[in-house]
Structure 1
Amino acid sequence: MTTGQTFPQQGDADRTDVGDWERLGVDTSKPHSARIYDYWLGGKTNFAPDRAMGDAIGQAIPSIRAMAKENRAFQARAVRHLVRDQGIRQFLDLGTGIPTSPNTHDIAQAIASDARVVYVDNDPIVLAHARALMVSDEAGRTSYIHADLGNAEKLLADPALTSTLDLEQPVGLLLIAVLMLIADADDPWGKVAALRDALPSGSCIALTHPTQDFDPESVGQVAAAAREGGMTLVPRSRAEVTAFFDGWELLEPGVSPVMGWLPDGEAPADPEAAYYWAGVARKK
């Protein structure tokens, strides 16, 4: 596996002592979205502020853990769809979060062993875990870049990316539960457009985004709790989420409740039980 940064030693990825993580540059005094998500999924790489924020959100939305799992399940379905039905063999996974099996490369390489994945995140904990846990199939490749969505041109020129992905060939761009961390004033639509414009025809984008559309009061409470905890968390409407796909061909069933996007097995009785919009689109 290649990276754009020097990793801590592999053993560091298993450390749970707060002091050890702080020496690696992790701010454990404030909640972080990746660690909250890890907490909801039953992971162990989270700290007291993350758990406190996760529990506060859980008070407003008691089913939040189930929703996080539904969001993760969509990612697996979308990756399988892109590999099997759209012929995608390389992925750019932005805001990948703390590794949780199965990861994108596990899913893709189970179908096409030569699939390649570049993970991108700006959390030092993800950086510490990546080398230990993101071990690729021998026929494929994975890389990790410690970065964010702020500069698409710089990201796409990173040697860890250019040595792993061929930007002349279709790419699957994954933005799973990450765009809500960018305020409207910072133009998340422009940041996504810059990435879309740089990808060749045949590329696909898959994303999920939390919304107030299904339960305005509860999600409003969550957004307020996040602000009080020093986090940016912006739920968006279906129209605002659809705008992230602008100019690309939405694949069926379009922008849908996350549970209703090509579900495995029978359709859910209440597809709006998880408060996310989801969609996949292809560049013509």
Structure 2
Amino acid sequence: MANRDGVVMNPAARSHGAHGAEDIASAKERGWRDLAPIDDAYQAGKITTAEWHAAVLNVIEPAYLNGDNPRAQSGHSGDETRWREARCLLVDLLPPNGGTFLDIGCANGHLMESLTVWAAEAGITIEPYGVEISAALADLARTRCPQWADRIWNANAMGWQPPHRFDVVRTGLDYVPGDLRGTYVAHLLNHVVAPGGRLIIGVYNEERHQTTTQDLLRSCGYIPVGTTRADHRHPEMQYKGLWLANTRSSQAVAAADGSGGSDAD
């Protein structure tokens, strides 16, 4: 799924009637008014997981494709300066020796381009790859980045079996319904991230003094190894990111790859 520019807001915050709560919700996720009913329908059992993905895609795909600049086609409403402020902190989460980097929800490929440059400025070399649930956006990414056309796939990362693993994988937890986030992380660590590699979660927007995303991961048994944050234009919010380590051995990974594997540890 293309980046929704934030995390799905807490349902309790969504139901809060105060203007301040709506302001924070909008800062978390620009399209939350369109996306909230989809989450509500899923939680009520009115739509399936596949229908959830399709409904979210129906909101995001036209908005991105109608963007008049590379940032808008990647789900960001700001100028180049704000794009860098909101995304460059991902460099903090990269391993010093770089390696292959998979951007899940790569949209038009702009983050692949940008992060490659920002990482190089920090002395880190990455080889970017992308996967995108929207066929139209994947085609746009291949057109914009012809040098990487054979590295960009059209697939739903939830359940996707890549042709090979990656040293670093970046995703958002909001790419799947809330009750499947632990399963999603398990799938990525078990089948997409290389042994000893990193799974980056972010960038996500979260209240300055809250650790909702970290708490969710911990509740699923995943302890962040590293974190980063930067000031958001909203004074109560911050841009945040973290990474998890794939501690599985090469032998365990080879066994999982050879058998189709299970997401259970």
Q: Tell me, what secondary structure is at the counterpart of 1:31?
A: helix
Give 5+ residue unaligned stretches, structure 2. 1-54, 248-265
Q: 1:239 aligns with which of 190, 207, 215?
A: 215
Distance 2:68 2:212 in 1: 21
Deviations 1:88-145 (A, max 9, x none): 31122111122226344455577566x43320011233222122222448xxx96011
Other-structure match for 1:189: 182
Distance 2:81 2:153 in 1: 29
Q: Tell me, what secondary structure is at the counterpart of 2:195?
A: coil
Give 5+ residue unaligned stretches, structure 1. 1-26, 55-62, 217-234, 260-267
Other-structure match for 1:14: none
Q: Tell me, what secondary structure is at the counterpart of 2:151?
A: strand
Matches within 5 A, 1:85-164: 85=96, 87-100=97-110, 102-107=113-118, 115-136=126-147, 143-152=151-160, 155-156=161-162, 161-162=163-164
Q: TM-score under structure 1 normalisation?
A: 0.50
Distance 1:202 1:43 in 2: 32
Contact kept in structure 2, 1:120 and 1:147, CA below 8 Å: yes
Q: Tell me, what secondary structure is at the counterpart of 2:87?
A: helix
Query: What is the aligned-residue RMSD (CA, Å)?
Result: 4.6
Q: TM-score under structure 2 normalisation?
A: 0.52
Q: 1:96 and 1:244, CA in 2 relative to 1: closer, same or farther beyond 3 A?
A: farther
Contact kept in structure 1, 2:182 and 2:217, CA below 8 Å: no
Q: Tell me, what secondary structure is at the counterpart of 2:243?
A: strand
Other-structure match for 2:241: 278
Other-structure match for 2:6: none
Q: 1:243 and 1:105, CA in 2 relative to 1: closer, same or farther beyond 3 A?
A: farther
Other-structure match for 2:195: 201
CA positional deviation for 1:215: 9.1
Counterpart amino acid of residue 182 in structure 1: V
The number of aligned residues is: 189
Q: Tell me, what secondary structure is at the counterpart of 1:96?
A: coil
Other-structure match for 1:70: 85
Counterpart amino acid of residue 138 in structure 2: L
Contact kept in structure 2, 1:174 and 1:205, CA below 8 Å: yes
Other-structure match for 2:60: 32
Distance 2:238 2:68 in 1: 15
Counterpart amino acid of residue 182 in structure 2: W
Distance 2:243 2:65 in 1: 22
